[in-house]
Structure 1
Amino acid sequence: MSQTKQVLILYYSRHGAIAAMAQQIARGVDSVAQTEARLRTVAPVSEVCASVAASIPETGAPYACLEDLKTCDALALGSPGRFGNMAAPLKYFLEKTSSLWLSGELVGKPAGVFTSTSSLHGGQESTLLSMMTPLLHHGMLITGLPYTQADLISTQTGGTPYGPSHVAGSENKPTLSAEEQRLCRALGKRLAELAHKL
């Protein structure tokens, strides 16, 4: 009997869309036997990159610590797009992972990424690529979504082979389309299955 695998879903969400995506990814993770999703977020930062939040969030997922990364078997990393790049709070957290890089703690673990933008052409794919870069430096094994996911062909909202995405619109609506939900769940399931296989 194999042991329970943990998939860390680490994200920053400002208007709720990324948090909604994280919940759907968790559903996909939890659909795989002996796999558990662990939701974690990061604190907002000020313009001088100092934490501006209390040490424990009032609602939602707890703040991540390096131990969460160290002990996970797989990782889903999510951020809203900021001019085609990940948001500063997530980047700030990742820049504090040098000790994990030096010790090789993340080498060989599967990872995937997800994002949300206000517009369909708001830099979704470049945001996803920006999140992959530090994960590659950590030696993680990046997975996306294969085109066997029919929603990648038919979606009129979010969804890319680089990872799930959401189009929030100018009003930043966190409600995910049916295709976006299915693609999020597909990434969660894929990471969970890879965690067991690897």
Structure 2
Amino acid sequence: MTRVLVLFYSRHGSTAALARQVARGVASVSGAEAILRTVPPVAPETRAASPPVPEEGAPYATLADLRECDALAMGSPTRFGNMAAPMKYFLDGTSELWLEGALSGKPAGVFTSTSTQHGGQESTLLTMMVPLLHHGALVLGLPYTLQPLSDTRSGGTPYGPSHVASSAAGNRLDEHEQALARALGRRLAVAAIALAGHRDGLR
């Protein structure tokens, strides 16, 4: 099976909801499976370490998860137009993978959520791509051949799926946001399957 790692950090559930839709998109492709993983929170003050296994939800990611996957979808809420600290902290610990070229030639994509329409979705997605490019990943976005990208009045960008976490809408993903998240999952799975056996030529 082609393994697509859906790696995310979520504080209030919106990014986790997007991650589940990305995973559904992966699962819609024959021969592909989604692996959901999260990262532990970080805090500015010293405190007890997080338990090795979360009390609920997806397990914490390990370097082995990134090493063994065939494609990667990475999601984080926006923090002042950038990814949240827990995701950045996790990525800062992936030098071992960079030295190995473990992600080189693997398809990758990004997704995010914000509390407001203009809360930095696109800048967050673009800056999340930077470490993936340093790792040599093949970064995929969403093309305008996807009709929901033109129809959406909430989240959704050509750089990746997004969600506007509006309290007025009950913080639920709308149909366009869901469709675009699933589209990213499908695109990553299809790309990973198509590239199987050819990664050495892309490293």
Change (3 A) 1:133 1:148: same
Q: Which runs of 5+ in 1 are unaligned?
A: none
Which structure 2 residues correspond to residues 71-86 of structure 1 after superposition, within 5 A? 71-86=68-83
The residue type equivalent to 1:121 in the other structure is H
TM-score by length of 2: 0.93
Among 132, 135, 139, the alignment partner of 2:136 is 139
1:152 — aligned with what? 149
Kindly provide the CA deviation profile for residues 105-127 of structure 1, in whole angstroms up to 9, marking residues without a partner as x: 11000000000001110000000
Among 115, 119, 125, the alignment partner of 1:118 is 115
CA distance in 2, matches of 1:112, 1:133: 11
CA distance in 2, matches of 1:6, 1:49: 36
Which structure 2 residues correspond to residues 47-196 of structure 1 after superposition, within 5 A? 47-48=44-45, 52-169=49-166, 173-196=170-193
Q: Does 1:22 align with 2:19?
A: yes
Q: CA deviation at 1:130?
A: 1.2
The residue type equivalent to 1:8 in the other structure is L
CA contact 1:20–1:174 (8 Å) conserved in 2: no
Change (3 A) 1:56 1:159: same
Change (3 A) 1:14 1:71: same
Q: CA deviation at 1:54?
A: 1.4
Among 12, 28, 32, the alignment partner of 2:29 is 32
Q: CA deviation at 1:53?
A: 2.0
Q: CA deviation at 1:51?
A: 7.3
Q: Does 1:5 align with 2:24?
A: no
Q: CA deviation at 1:174?
A: 3.7
CA distance in 1, matches of 2:94, 2:143: 29
Give the secondary structure class of the aligned counterpart of 1:9.
strand
Q: Which runs of 5+ in 2 are unaligned?
A: 196-203
1:45 — aligned with what? 42
CA distance in 1, matches of 2:81, 2:46: 20
Give the secondary structure class of the aligned counterpart of 1:108.
coil
Change (3 A) 1:38 1:50: farther
Kindly provide the CA deviation profile for residues 130-155 of structure 1, in whole angstroms up to 9, marking residues without a partner as x: 11000000000000000011111110
TM-score by length of 1: 0.95
The percent of aligned pairs where both chains have the same amino acid is 64
CA contact 1:44–1:51 (8 Å) conserved in 2: no
Kindly provide the CA deviation profile for residues 51-85 of structure 1, in whole angstroms up to 9, marking residues without a partner as x: 74211101100000000000000000000000000
- Flag the structure with higher helix content: 2
